[in-house]
Amino acid sequence: MVKLIAAADNDQASNIDIRDNNALKQSEHSGLITVYLAYAEEAKLQHYLTIQVSQGATLYEALAQAGWLSQFDELATWCEQVADMTTPTAKRWHVGVYAQKQPLNYQLQPFDRIEVYRSLSADPMSQRKSKSRG
């Protein structure tokens, strides 16, 4: 069983259906865009959030606005360490948009899905090889 945690602050969050053109037009006129955040803190503990951020907001600003930098100390520490990096490094990078690693200054687009990646305890290829050997 997987525990899903969905948080929504009525002032910041909104469930906007991508197909709902009226909602999209309202967001555009208000200068806000909707983005989604996802974080699998552990294999069985996942966090999902939908928030509205101002147009032109960065990935870092969305993480801060969502409260995830205060909620997840490890994420906040990592953000401080890589704040000045403009090119994501393969093994050190912990955030992305739609499975593409992005720098913290990445400018968000409407309906982007921000993903926070956790460090793996073991290499998946090694695990599969071990299982196949039996």
- Distances in Å between the Cα of 64 and the Cα atoms of 51, 59, 60, 76, 120 are 11, 9, 6, 9, 24
Structure tokens at 31: 């200068």
Q: Please provide residue 27's backbone torsions phi and psi, each rounded to the nearest 5 degrees.
A: -65, -40
Task: Write the DSSP assignment of 41-87 as a string of letters.
Answer: EETTEEEEEEEEEETT-BHHHHHHHTTHHHH-HHHHHHHHHHTT--S
Residue 6, pLDDT score: 58
Q: Measured between alpha carbons, how far is 39 from 80 in angstroms, rounded to an integer?
A: 18
User: Three-state SS for 97?
Assistant: strand
CA 61 to chain centre: 11
- Taking residues 28-53, report their average pLDDT: 90
| % the chain with pLDDT above 90 | 44
Q: Kindly report the average pLDDT of the chain as a whole number.
A: 79
